[in-house]
Structures are given as C-alpha cells and as structure tokens.
Structure 1
Amino acid sequence: MIIDIVMPIGHWSRHLTSALESIHNQPRNFRLAIMDASHDPRVKADIASVGLKPDIYRDGKDNGQADAIAKAWLSMDGDVVTWLNADDMLLPNVLRNVENLFLSDPETDVFYANSSISDDNGMIIGLHPEVQPHSDILLRSNIISQPSCFVRRTAMESVGGLNPELEFTMDWDLWVRLHNAGKSIKFVNEIWSNVTWEPATKTASFSRQRYREIFALIRRNSSFYVSAKSIFGFMQHHKSTYKDARISLSTPINKLVNFSILNLTATQQKSIELHFDNIDAAVKCNISGAEVEISEKSIRANFDRAIEPGESVQISVCADQKSSAKLMSTNWQK
C-alpha cells in the first residue's frame, strides 16, 4: 500500500525542516509531492539539508493550496491520500500504523486521529479542541484534524476530490461530502500529528472570506436559522480559543488518553511535565525506567535516558469518568 502525501508551500516557514524530517523519518511506504509556490530559495535548501528526495517537485505559481494539492494527487496513484502543511509534523511511525489500519479494515474509507498543538516556539500547549469521534456534528463543526486524516483514493475520487475554489474550508468540505456519500469514516483515539498554531496561520484567522465559506458549507446541510446560529457560535468559540491559546487549547480528560508527544526542542531532554488545571488522575509512561511524580496541578515523568530531538514519548493518562481535569500545557526539561 502506498500513501500519497502532498506538501503545499505558499511561503517558507522556519518549521519547514521539522515538517520535512517528520516525513523523511517515516517507513518508506509513501510518495511525496512538494508543490512550492514560495519562490524562496530556502525551501530547496531545507529539502536538501534533510536529504529528502520528493517524487514530485514543482516550483512556481499555483491557483491556491487546494488547486495545488488536487493537481498533485492527479499526478500520483497511491492507495491513500493526505497532505501536510509546511509548519505541521507527522509523529513517528504514523504512516505504518495508517497502512496497517487500511489493510486490516478494507471497508473503511477514512481514518483520522487527534493532533497535538504547539505554539510558534515549539511548546506543546494541548490537543486539538474540536476533534471527536465521527458523527453528524461534522455537518456544522469541523471535528477532523486535517494532518491526522487519511482517505482512500477511490473514496476521494468518487466525491470529486478537493474543491479548488475554496481557501479556508477545503478540508472540511471534503469530509462533509465523504460523510454525505455514506463513506465509512473512523476515529482512532491516538495522536498522529502536531499542528503549529500562530496568529498568521489560516486556522487562526477569521476573515470575511472564511466566514462566507463556513456559512455556505453549513447552509448546504442546515436551515438558514441553524446556519446563522452555528456561525455565531463559531465566531464566539474562535474568539475565546485564540485570545489565549495556552489556556483555551485544552481537552477534558475523562477517560484513557494516550499522549504521543514530540521533543520539538533542538536538544536532548530528560523529563517532561504535563500541566493540568487540577489533578485527580494516574499516569503511566511507556519509557522503561521512567519515574512519575504527581502533584496538585502537574505530572512529571523523569526518563532514565535522554530523549533525542524529534523523538516522541507516549504517556497514558487515566482519569475517573467524573474527572474535570484539563490538560493545559506540556513542556520538556533537561
């Protein structure tokens, strides 16, 4: 099974090297197309520094991100498709796990998981606040994190692929059409990617064009009243989420949650701290020999070896069903 990955690059990002390395370090069950519209020589320099050799590299102006991705997919023939932005990252071995899921469950068309969220300084500040198991809620809220979503090519092609006319909702629009077509969509309670949220990202912006695209998407499946109400709720949520991302990008922990957290720093680290608004949970770590310390508002795991830059660790947090604990942030310590 081959997974086709497209990386659209509209402008150079200082996170690009990390994004490229996260692909380069995956098992070689993928093909990569880089669609570079940046006209920035640093992009080619970063590709060369990582040692990554894309199967397709196109340098030049395009008609937008969706158009670039759609054209790249047309030039490829892998079994599964996805895309990764230049400031996001795949976690280690994700592509192998995704391949195994599709091979073991041939009736499923889409698999998606959660994403950790980091700020522009590489600090993990929580989990994606919208992600949840697949349901009709998708018709009024984008509950799928794009870099953690993988789609069978046959399913993508059967609903017409990405709409190149869209700028802000091209991913959500595709998920909704897959949903309405009755495709099998399954959520996996794992973390498959890391997303960088900063004011300049499209996710963090709320322009008039984004408002129009969101309203049009919801309106296709709901009444005018429901659509208007959803847009108002979206605006209020968006405002509170980005007012202070370090506080509001939190996920209630009321069951077993597996955190796969990358060392996004440039140096080796010996411990990690998870900060909560309150603690009534037990924690286990999959690193042999790790010692766990639990205090009123934090969990600290001390490892018996250094965690290398780019390496990930998994921490399982298990809380009582009535727990109201929320993960607020995580940080590495030497």
Structure 2
Amino acid sequence: MDASGDPAVAQEIAQSGVQTTYHRCAPDGGQSDAIAEGWARSTAPILAWLNADDMLLENCIPMVLAAFEANPNIDLIYGHSSICNEEGDVLGLHSAVKPVSNLIYRDNYISQPSCFIRRSALEKIGGIDKSLHYTMDWDLWLRLYDNGHEFMFIDEIFSNVSWVTDTKTSQISIKRYKEFAAILHRSQGLMNVAKGVVSSVLQTHGVYRDQTKWGDSLLPLYNGKPHATLPIINATETAQRRLECRFSKPTKDYVVSCKSGDITWDGATAWITFHTAIKAGECGVICIDAKNSSDDMKLIEAKWA
C-alpha cells in the first residue's frame, strides 16, 4: 500500500520478486486506512502488517503458521524484534517485549512487526481503528485482550526494526500523545495517564532520538540461554560476508559456531566470515551452546563489516 507518490517505490516492488495479491499506489486516508484496505483485499486467515523500513526474518512465517496450527485456541502470536541503526548494525532486542499480562493496559509491549492475528478474531472486534495514526496497534491488542482472545508469546526473533531519527516512533507529536493518553485513560486514573505521557515523551527524547543511548535501552541479542540458533539479519543495502559479534566477555563456557562460515576470536569479539555472501534482507545464522549453564555471556551487538 504505497501513498508516497514516488515511482521508484513501484519499480522496486516490481524488481523485488515479491508476489502481491493486491498492490495500490495512490493517496489514502493514512496508515490505518491503508492497512484496513489491504486486509479487505486479501483472504488469508492470518493477518499482519509490515512497514517499508522493517523486515521479517526467514524463520518467522513457518514458525508462526506452525504455532497457529498447533494451537487453534490462540488468536494472536508475537515474538521479539531486533533493532538496527541507519548503518544496518544490529544493536539488540526491543526491550519492551515481554509475555502477555495485565501490564498491557499500561504499556504497548508487543512489537507490531512481530505480531500476527487471526482474521476471525479481528472481525469480531471490528478490525483496526482507521481514526488512529500512532497507536492503532496498541488499541488493537487491547480490544482483542479485553474481548477474551488468547495471546501467545514465542521467545524467538521474528523481525528486525529500523530505529532512525526520522521514524514515526521518534516524532514528538501532540496527536501522538493525545492518542496515547486516551488509551491509557481507559484503565488508568488521570495521575497515571499524566505519568505515562511524560514517560513516553522522555523515552522518545532519550532513546529513539539519541542513537548513543540505544545500546543502554535494548536487551542483548543473546542472554545466557543453554542453546540458541540466532539469525542476524543483513539490514544493510548490499550483500555482506563478514560479521562482527561483540560479546559481554570472552567465550569460555560457551561454544559459538557457524555451519556456513568460519569464526576467529579477538578477546570478546567473534569475527564470522560466511562462505557465501548474505544478501541484503537475509540472515546469517550462528549457534551458541553452553557448557556451563551458570555462565551469563551476552551477545551485545552484531555489525556487518
């Protein structure tokens, strides 16, 4: 759904090899209106939306579809999102994401690019609210939650999200905070609404708009699990072969391996050279296995070099 008016967008879509059921290049009533139109033009039983600067990881769709098939009572499935900067460096995981609870009334902790919903559940609550521009995702989760639909959190990375200084999330907008306050006011008193809005303003100033603080606000890509198969997306614009992975300390009780590449170490940094270049938008996969579960080694960031 393209309202940019830029002919290069249509050209890139045509050259991408992605098959679309419906494709429109024209003005619309805003993002929520475009999402609703796209969903109405499709017939798939599972729905989601993805912005042009975000990416789904290769393992995401098969994992999500298998989870829906195995759990017919579940209406919404979500996972982690990794975060990258303008250079394509993967800096960590979105720190707000957590398993579902009543805290969803205070904070939008579901990362929208990593969230998938049954069409049947959406139709029961009337779909997306076209009047909302900034908080339509949180509003959707809350209405599903309020109506007793079941959520499932999967502790895997589903998407990569680009945090740059001109993204919608980083904008200071009165309309944004009015929407945010109205959602908070459904379940919170005015004092908590005010606190929530102030907290959101500070977060926007201190995190989204200040790239030097992103690392402090994100979760590690890997955090002491016994075993992890970790996809690192190439969020740059060109094919890459060499990946720099910075850990919290030198490997001792963990084995880091890569079936499709060779690893060399320099202190707490692992350099991975893939046998075949990883194309833009695709993933390089590394494996981490613990020899001693008491250790707490973390993968802090991954840079393509």
- Alignment TM class, shorter chain as reference: 0.7 to 0.9
> Residues 216-268 of structure 1, C-alpha deviation per residue, up to 9 Å, x if partnerless?
11110112222222222222233221322543342155442653111234555
Partner of 1:187 in structure 2?
Answer: 153
Partner of 1:295 in structure 2?
Answer: 267
Identical columns (%): 36
Q: 1:283-322 maps to which residues of 2 (within 5 A)? A: 283-288=255-260, 290-291=262-263, 293=265, 295-296=267-268, 298-303=269-274, 305-310=275-280, 311-317=282-288
Q: Does 1:176 align with 2:146?
A: no
Distance in 2 between residues matched to 1:195 and 1:109, nearest whole Å: 23
Q: TM-score, normalised by structure 2?
A: 0.87
Q: Does 1:95 align with 2:95?
A: no
Partner of 1:141 in structure 2?
Answer: 107
Structure 1: any 5+ residue segments left out of the alignment?
Answer: 1-34
1:114 to partner: Cα distance: 0.9
Partner of 2:87 in structure 1?
Answer: 121
> Residues 167-225 of structure 1, C-alpha deviation per residue, up to 9 Å, x if partnerless?
11011110111111121111111111111111111112121111111111111011222
Q: Is the 8 A contact 1:283 1:315 kept in 2?
A: no
Partner of 1:60 in structure 2?
Answer: 26
Structure 2: any 5+ residue segments left out of the alignment?
Answer: none
> Residues 7-43 of structure 1, C-alpha deviation per residue, up to 9 Å, x if partnerless?
xxxxxxxxxxxxxxxxxxxxxxxxxxxx221111111
- The counterpart of 1:47, out of the listed 7, 13, 22, is 13
- The counterpart of 2:191, out of the listed 221, 225, 238, is 225
Distance in 2 between residues matched to 1:279 and 1:250, nearest whole Å: 21
1:172 to 1:283, Cα distance in 2 relative to 1, 3 A? farther
Q: 1:240-319 maps to which residues of 2 (within 5 A)? A: 240-242=206-208, 243=210, 244-252=212-220, 254-256=223-225, 258-276=229-247, 278=249, 282-288=254-260, 290-291=262-263, 293=265, 295-296=267-268, 298-303=269-274, 305-310=275-280, 311-317=282-288
SS across alignment from 1:56: coil
Q: TM-score, normalised by structure 1?
A: 0.80
Q: Aligned Cα RMSD in Å?
A: 2.5
Distance in 1 between residues matched to 2:204 and 2:82, nearest whole Å: 18
Q: Is the 8 A contact 1:81 1:152 kept in 2?
A: yes
SS across alignment from 1:166: coil
1:44 to 1:332, Cα distance in 2 relative to 1, 3 A? same
Query: What code does the residue aligned with 1:293 have?
Result: W
SS across alignment from 1:147: helix
SS across alignment from 1:84: coil
1:322 to 1:241, Cα distance in 2 relative to 1, 3 A? farther
Partner of 1:165 in structure 2?
Answer: 131
Larger deviation, residues 249-258 vs 179-188: 249-258
Partner of 1:28 in structure 2?
Answer: none
Q: Is the 8 A contact 1:284 1:292 kept in 2?
A: no
1:269 to 1:239, Cα distance in 2 relative to 1, 3 A? same
1:255 to 1:142, Cα distance in 2 relative to 1, 3 A? farther
1:218 to 1:56, Cα distance in 2 relative to 1, 3 A? same
SS across alignment from 1:162: coil
1:130 to partner: Cα distance: 1.3
Q: Is the 8 A contact 1:270 1:302 kept in 2?
A: yes
Distance in 2 between residues matched to 1:249 and 1:226, nearest whole Å: 22
Partner of 1:14 in structure 2?
Answer: none
Distance in 1 between residues matched to 2:167 and 2:237, nearest whole Å: 23
Partner of 1:212 in structure 2?
Answer: 178
Q: Is the 8 A contact 1:191 1:258 kept in 2?
A: no
1:274 to 1:248, Cα distance in 2 relative to 1, 3 A? same
Query: What code does the residue aligned with 2:218 have?
Result: S
1:126 to partner: Cα distance: 1.9
Larger deviation, residues 255-264 vs 210-219: 255-264
